[in-house]
Every structure is written in C-alpha cells, then in structure tokens.
Amino acid sequence: MFKRLTYGMVGGSKDSQIGIVHRKAINLHGKAELVCGSFSRNFKNTLATGKELKIEEKRLYRNYEEMAEEESKRPDKIDFVSIVTPNSSHYEVAKKFLESGINVMCEKPLTITLKEAEELKQLARKNNLLFAVAYSYTGYSMLRYARELIKRGEIGEVRFINGRYISEWMAKVPFAGKNARHEWRSDPKVSGLSNCVADIGVHVNNVVSFLTGLKIKTLIARMDKFVEPDRLDDNASILINYDNGAEGIYWTSQIAVGHENTLDIGIYGAKGSIEWSQEHANYLKISKVNHPFITLSRGSEKVDDFIKNDYVTPGGHQEGYVEAFARVYDKFINAITKKKKGELLEQRDLDFPTIEDGVDGMRFIEKCIESAEKGASWVEF
C-alpha cells in the first residue's frame, strides 16, 4: 500500500484563518500529513504553531528559504508545499520551492504581476512539477455537475453569463491600520495591483471558465475605491465578450451591505440555463425553453455516479466550503501520488485548478486594471 504523502506549509500560523482552512481541507481525506513549516516571519509563532500541530522542532524553519533548501536535501523530503502567505510573497516562495524540486499549491491570486505568473509556469514545466492554485469553489459537487451538463449541450450554446461575488466586510470596518488580519488586502505593497478583483473577482472568472471553457475576447472594467480612495479597489463592474460571441457581466464587491459571502453564477444558453449559488451549494436551478424550471439537489438520482463518487457526505446533507476545498486538494494529491509511482498522468488526472488557471487569473486582473485606467474602455484580452 502506498503511504501517505507529506507536505509543508509556508504561512498559516495558528491565528491564520486561511491556513487553518487549508489544513482542514487536506486532513479531510487523510492522504497527506503535515510534517514541516515556516508558519510566520516571527519564528516564535512558527514554533508555537508547530507545537500545536505536533511537528518535530527540527522541521520548523525560520524562513521559507531555509525550509526549501533543507527539505530538498532530505531523503524523505515533502511531496508538496502549501503557500498561504499574502499576495506579494507568492512569487518568491513558489519560485524557491519549484527550484528545489517540490510541487506547489499556492493561494490566489497566483502572483502580483502576469510576468511573474508566466515565469512560474515556465519553471514548473521545466522542472516537471505539479502546481495547483487555490480556486476552491471549483470543488463543489453541483458546480462540477453543472460543468458536465453544459459540456453535454443541455442548455445549448452559451449566450450570456452573469456572475457576482459580493460581500460586506469592508463596509463594516473603517480599517486602515485597525484590522490587522485584513488591512493588508487594500495595501498595494502587500496585496499588489488590486484588492477586490484580485481577491474575489478572480473566483468569478475562474468558475465561469471552469463551467463553460469559454475564453475572454475583450472586457471593460470600472474599479471603485469607496472606502479608501487612496488605496486599492473595493468594488468592480466588468463587462465581458467571449470567444464564441457570448457576453457577460461580473460584479465583485466588498462593500455590498447585507451580503456575507455571496457567489452566484448564471449560465444562459440557447436552450436553457443553469444557476448556482455558493450559499445554497447543494442545488442547481435548471431551466429549459417551454419547460418548468427544476431545482436539482446533489442527492437526486439524476446526478451522475462519477460526481457522487467524490461525495464526502451523501446527498441530502449540506456540502460545505471545506469539503469543496478538500476535493480540489484530493485531485491534486492523487495526481502527485500517481506521478510518484511513475505512472503517466492523463488530462483527467489534472482536474484541479492548475498553474494555467493562475496565469489566466493574473491576466484577468491586469486587463481589468488596464481598462479602468483608460477610463473604463474596452481592452483586448
């Protein structure tokens, strides 16, 4: 029997929200064990986190450089690293581990520039390493089933797409310097070129691409700075033209009072439509011309077995964010395991958000910024 993989984490100390989510997601299927880390720039925090997670002190590192170098020398080096640091450090950390021969899972956005993202893509290819990006929503069962229905032509050719990811947290906190956990997101020195579009707008773009396979041809974006005019965007409205002639509109916001974490996607085709909401993730609303709409649950007999085979809990039980995230990790870990056994990977083995998705996300961010800086003008993608 093939033993569990091992992994390390950069960032994600015991007080980190997203680091805890990543660890829970990996633990859900029990296929990988956390054995090392550099969880904080403050080594005392790394030691405290490592102690809490029962990691040997000799595999707790002062920084990511030391971690990558020391792990690469070990006969039992980690199989992958999970990078859960703020945006500005993603490129350097990922680059160091790729150069050290270690597979990477990185939080989104992949980097803070498209150029950096392209460099990581080339380095991963050169060193024959797997690279996943934490676009976690693609792990939801009913989104994966929606992709299958669209692929089969159930709603016909896609004509229009409506996507929104809206939340209220920036409206609730007058926060420059007052909310240490989130304040960095609007700081260009740490967050990069964008806050709202880079943080949650990329999820809309990624989910739409995941569902439809359509490529953006042109876009026009208006990016707003309501809370902190001298910092980064907190709201954006984006119009899209796709390569098949379809059109779309995305709204992404962190100042939408009354919304905690609303991700809604509607795909409208010539024969029907499919709608999904993250806050009601168990269900798809499916409508067809001249038929009453139906609400399909993940427990329905109509849902294909290959979708159900990935269920952690049976239909009728709510599928949550950590389960969806765990499915992304599970696909990534399975691919590493297969590759480690010397088996040839097929395209179906790469059914997780890859480095190419990360690069596409960075292109989306930069094109939105380019359009906004031109006074909300159409730009080629």
Domain spans, the chain: 5-129, 140-312+360-380
Task: List pLDDT tens digits, range 257-279.
Answer: 999 999 999 999 999 999 999 99
From CA 98, how far away is CA 123, in angstroms rounded? Answer: 7
pLDDT band per the 50, 70, 90 thresholds, residue 375? very high
Q: What are the distances in angstroms from CA 271 to CA 50, 192, 244, 248, 358?
A: 54, 41, 16, 17, 32
Q: What is the pLDDT of residue 175?
A: 56
Q: What is the pLDDT of residue 174?
A: 62
User: Which amino acid belongs to residue 110?
Assistant: L
Task: List pLDDT tens digits, range 174-199.
Answer: 655 556 556 677 778 888 899 999 99
From CA 134, how far away is CA 117, in angstroms rounded? Answer: 14
Computed on alpha carbons and rounded to an integer, the radius of gyration of the chain in Å comes to 21
What integer is the mean pLDDT of 161-186? Answer: 77
From CA 203, how far away is CA 143, in angstroms rounded? Answer: 13
Main-chain dihedrals φ then ψ at residue 79, nearest 5 degrees = -80, -30
Main-chain dihedrals φ then ψ at residue 144, nearest 5 degrees = -70, -35
Q: Left if phi > 0, otherwise alpha if psi is -120 to 50, otherwise beta: which for 192?
A: left
Q: Do domains 5-129 and 140-312+360-380 have the same CATH topology?
A: no
Q: What is the pLDDT of residue 189?
A: 85
Residue 229, pLDDT > 90, answer: no
Among the residue ranges 94-103, 268-277, 313-322, the one predicted with the least confidence is 313-322
CB contact at 8 A, 218 and 246: no
Q: What is the pLDDT of residue 192?
A: 86
Among the residue ranges 25-29, 230-234, 270-274, the one predicted with the least confidence is 230-234
What integer is the mean pLDDT of 311-326? Answer: 93
Q: What is the pLDDT of residue 182?
A: 64
Residue position matching structure tokens 């709201």 = 235
Residues 6 or more apart whose CB falls under 8 angstroms from that of 286 comprise 149, 154, 155, 272, 273, 274, 293, 294, 295, 296
- How, if at all, do strands 272-277 and 283-288 pair? antiparallel
Options 2.30.110.10, 3.20.20.150, 3.90.180.10, 3.30.360.10; CATH of 140-312+360-380: 3.30.360.10
What integer is the mean pLDDT of 129-148? Answer: 98
Q: What is the pLDDT of residue 255?
A: 95
The closest of 289, 288, 285 to 300, measured between CA atoms, is: 285
Residue 23, pLDDT > 70, answer: yes
The closest of 155, 372, 114 to 252, measured between CA atoms, is: 372
Residue position matching structure tokens 């709204």 = 251
What integer is the mean pLDDT of 210-236? Answer: 95
Residue of higher predicted confidence among 63 and 14: 63
From CA 178, how far away is CA 244, in angstroms rounded? Answer: 46
CB contact at 8 A, 315 and 323: no
Main-chain dihedrals φ then ψ at residue 339, nearest 5 degrees = -65, -40
What integer is the mean pLDDT of 8-20? Answer: 94
From CA 8, how far away is CA 19, in angstroms rounded? Answer: 12
C-alpha dihedral sign at 360, 364, 370, 371: positive
Share the mean pLDDT of the chain.
95
CB contact at 8 A, 114 and 370: no
Q: What is the pLDDT of residue 185?
A: 76
Q: What is the pLDDT of residue 316?
A: 87
Query: Class of 5-129 per CATH?
Result: alpha beta
CA 91 to chain centre: 16
Whether the pTM exceeds 0.85: the reply is: yes
- How, if at all, do strands 247-253 and 235-242 pair? antiparallel
Q: Name the token pair of 308.
A: 């159900």
Residue 235, pLDDT > 90, answer: yes
Q: What is the pLDDT of residue 187?
A: 79
Task: List pLDDT tens digits, range 42-91.
Answer: 999 999 999 999 999 999 999 999 999 999 999 999 999 999 999 999 99
From CA 320, how far away is CA 278, in angstroms rounded? Answer: 9
